[in-house]
Amino acid sequence: MHKPRSIPKGAFLLPLTLLVIVLLLPLFRNFIQSSSKIYATNLETKETRSCNIFSGNWSSYPKEPYYNNETCPFILNQINCIKSGRPDRDFLKLRWKPHDCELPLFNATQFLELVRGKSMAFVGDSMGRNQLESLLCLINTVAHPEDITAKYTSNDDIFFRWWFIADYNFTVTIMWSPFLVKYNDSDASGLAYYSATTLYLDEVDAAWASKIENFDYVIFSAGQWFFRPLTFYENGQVVGCQKCQNKTELNYYGYRKAFRTAFRTIRNVKGFKGKAFLVTHSPGHFENGDWNEGGTCNRTRPFSMEERKVYKHRDIVEAVYQIQMEEFAEAEKEARKEGLNFGLSLIDITDAMVMRPDGHPGRYRSVGNVKINDCVHWCLPGPVDTWNEILLYVMRLEGEKHKNVTLS
């Protein structure tokens, strides 16, 4: 099994692979429809029926962001865009506005009161880390997150880390698991952006699954690594591959099965009484070439409706999003059949983020190969802060559901 700690930081920064993909996609009507349907059946309050917070638009908001490069010490250089010299600021003056309601601002005190005495794990790839850093910055406005990684491991890397917010007895951690299932990188150093990888689709990655049972909240964000050459195993047999033997096309079988295995695992982990969240696919926005072809993302405004329509590669984003939705719905159905508390909710950011080609670091990333733009991760502060506004909103909604009251 390839050891995550052998991956250099640069590889984490740009899980490129994906890059391959993802670009710029228009908004798909069916995205909205499928997610609102799932959302409404998942959450049974009056409020959610009348408002799908995942369907909306970015509207202007003149106030300063929650934090900045001087007030938040948790931002990795690669996404610390303003500090790295990004000159424009308009991308910070927007907030997500659901069509039928308001998404409340992130209230860090309220968040910390909800999670008092609890623990939260971000499981997956560097998109999870992107959201975690945003959360640490948001928390840092009212309480101090202390890095307690040394209590758990002597590895000083960014793949497995722990923070503790003493005033609220709250622990938050990140667990690196880019495929969610067991994998083995043929390049032992893990250096290659594009190395062939073997996935064991029916075996969950113990890096998270063995640790998860005591957590109260688990947040999955993965999928960006599924665009490289892959060989799929099930039951000890090769069952397929991608970008192999002269084939260039994507084979979504592995993506689907990996999510199926992860969802089955979280449903069945003995003793897991917590809440899990799936953060849906985060789209990238390379233009004029891929990540390795000098592609850029230098827009300073969200897409207009017209611009959204002309973007390419929508089929890939649509395909992976649809697979996530289908597997989510399938897992929910299975849980119901087995009489289990499903415990998995959506943080459906795909549609909102498709509209934000202006939210990426691009060339303002101060690390690694400066010739490669990062049009995959998101600047902090920036539109990724919305993911945590949504997280808090959904956590409150879940809490209120149990008390049978509606949100104000």
Ligand X SMILES: *[C@@H]1O[C@H](CO)[C@@H](O)[C@H](O)[C@H]1NC(C)=O
Which residues in this chain contact ligand X in the complex, by CB under 6 A?
Answer: 1, 57-59, 68-70, 82-83, 107, 109-110, 113, 117-119, 169, 184, 186, 245-246, 287-288, 296, 298, 304-305
Nearest to 180 by CA among 249, 279, 247: 279
Measured CA distances, 130 to 16, 252, 259, 376, 406 (Å): 15, 25, 20, 10, 31
How far is Cα 20 from Cα 140, in angstroms, rounded to an integer? 35
How far is Cα 14 from Cα 134, in angstroms, rounded to an integer? 18
First to last CA, the chain: 49
Q: Active-site residue 377, yes or no?
A: yes
Nearest approach in angstroms of CB 339 to ligand X is 28
Nearest approach in angstroms of CB 112 to ligand X is 9
Nearest approach in angstroms of CB 307 to ligand X is 10
Residue number with CB closer to ligand X (96 or 342): 96
Instruction: Give the contacts of 305 (CB within 8 A, at least 6 positions apart).
Output: 27
Q: Active-site residue 374, yes or no?
A: yes
Q: Are 200 and 182 in contact (CB under 8 A)?
A: yes
Nearest approach in angstroms of CB 130 to ligand X is 19
Q: Which of 125, 348, 374, 385 is catalytic?
A: 374
How far is Cα 174 from Cα 145, in angstroms, rounded to an integer? 14
Nearest approach in angstroms of CB 264 to ligand X is 22
Q: Which of 34, 55, 126, 221 is catalytic?
A: 126
150 burial level (CB within 10 Å; 0-12, 13-18, 19+): exposed
Long-range contacts of 160-166 (CB under 8 A, 24+ apart): 160/4, 160/207, 163/136, 165/112, 165/139
Q: List phi, psi (to 5°) of 32.
A: -60, -45
Q: Active-site residue 144, yes or no?
A: no
User: Which residues are part of the catalytic machinery?
Assistant: 126, 374, 377
